[in-house]
Amino acid sequence: MATIRLTTLGDSFVEGRGDAAPGGGWHGWVPRLAEMLWLPGDSVRNLGTFQATTQDVVDHQLTRALTNKAPVIGVIVGVNDLVGDYDPDRFRRNLTAIFEKTTGMDTAVFTATYADIPANLPVPETFRTLLRDRFARANDALRDTTARTGALCLDVTTVPEWADPAMWSPDGLHPSPRGHEWFARSVAELLASTTGMSLAAA
């Protein structure tokens, strides 16, 4: 059995939705990132599941991620909290549990802030304003938690490319193949610059 080198936790963004794989299922940024990091497919453990919340990650994914812990762990989750039954205290508590348990001297843990997904959704303007406020507060919580625990945080809120409709699938929630490719490359460059990991040629 291959040694696990990369584990990813989270929701459908991690699952790969928006980037259909030949023959069915999803491709996404995780296998793209693995290729960029020279990691064979059987050394990657993708735990991302459709509609997962931060509570789902704590309850169902975290223990699996800590078993045979990988040296690189990615965590992308929270959008389903923000567009559903949002409890800011529970959200922050779950982020703390996830990052405190995954980070450590032997592990590089990465995540990313939340892009302006509310701009993509066909919702009333009053609800869009509410969602944007939630997303902004969630990004503050994420930045605070990663800074405190030592996790790496890719800040996509400062990247104008994410305002391009071509980066998103028609549902507005999931990246398009172009978006998944961009995200994988950005994470690979972040890991290379902070950990010294080697990248495959673009």
Instruction: Point out which residues pair with 7 in neighbouring strands.
Output: 45, 73
What digits encode the pLDDT tens for the residues 145-186?
999 999 999 999 989 999 999 999 999 999 999 999 999 999
Percent of the chain with pLDDT over 90: 92
Q: What are phi and psi of 190, to 5 degrees?
A: -65, -45
| 8 A C-beta contact, residue 88 and residue 36 | no
Residue 26 has pLDDT above 80, yes or no: yes
- Does the reported pTM lie above 0.85? yes
b/e 76-99 (16+ beta carbons within 10 angstroms → b): bbbbbbbbeebeeeebbebbbbbb
Half-sphere exposure for 71 (CA within 13 Å, toward CB): 10
Residue-averaged pLDDT of the chain: 95
6-195: CATH topology is Rossmann fold (3.40.50)
- For the chain, domain boundaries: 6-195
Number of neighbours of residue 147 by Cβ within 10 angstroms: 10
Q: What are phi and psi of 168, to 5 degrees?
A: -120, 150
How far apart (Å, rounded) are the C-alpha atoms in residues 20 and 14? Answer: 13
Residue 201 has pLDDT above 80, yes or no: no
